[in-house]
A and B are shown apart, each in its own frame.
Chain A
Amino acid sequence: MIAQLAMATGFALILIGFYGALTNRNILRMIVAFSVANTGVHLVLVAVGYMNGRTAPILDSAVSATEAVTRIIDPVPQALVLTAIVIGMGVTALMLAFAYKLYEKKRSLDIGKFTELRW
C-alpha cells in the first residue's frame, strides 16, 4: 500500500513537472519544472524496490547475513537512483550554465525571443 501510494505521488510529480516545462515561457521556470519531474522519477524507482514488512539493505545486529534474503528489500533500484540523483544535479548545472549564456546573448529569459532555430 505504501509503495503504491509513493508510486502514484511520483507519477503525479512527473506529470506536474512535464506540464510546467511545456507551458512556462521562462527558461529558469522550465528548469525548475524539470527538476520536479526528476524527483518524481526517483520516487517511482525507489517505490518499485519496496516490499512490505522488510527493512533497509544494511546488515547489522538486527539483520544478520544468513537471514538477509527474507528480511531486506531489493537493493538494485536504490543503487540506480543514487546514480540518477548525482547525474541529475550535473545536468541541472549544465542547463543553468546554458540559461546564463542565453541571457547574456539576448538579455531575456523568454523562450519566445530565441527564434534562430524556429521553423
Chain B
Amino acid sequence: MNRIRSIANIIVGICFEMVFAAAIVLWGLVICGVAFLIYR
C-alpha cells in the first residue's frame, strides 16, 4: 500500500512540476505580450 502511495506521489509530483514549467512559460508570455503591445 505504501509503495502504491509513493508511486502515486511521484506521478502527481511529475505532473505538478510540468504545470509549474508551463506556468513559467505563461509568465514569460504575459511579459512578452505586454512589451509587444506597448511597442506595437
* A, B: real partners: no
Which residues of A are at the interface with B, using a C-beta cutoff of 8 A?
A: none
Which residues of B are at the interface with A, using a C-beta cutoff of 8 A?
A: none
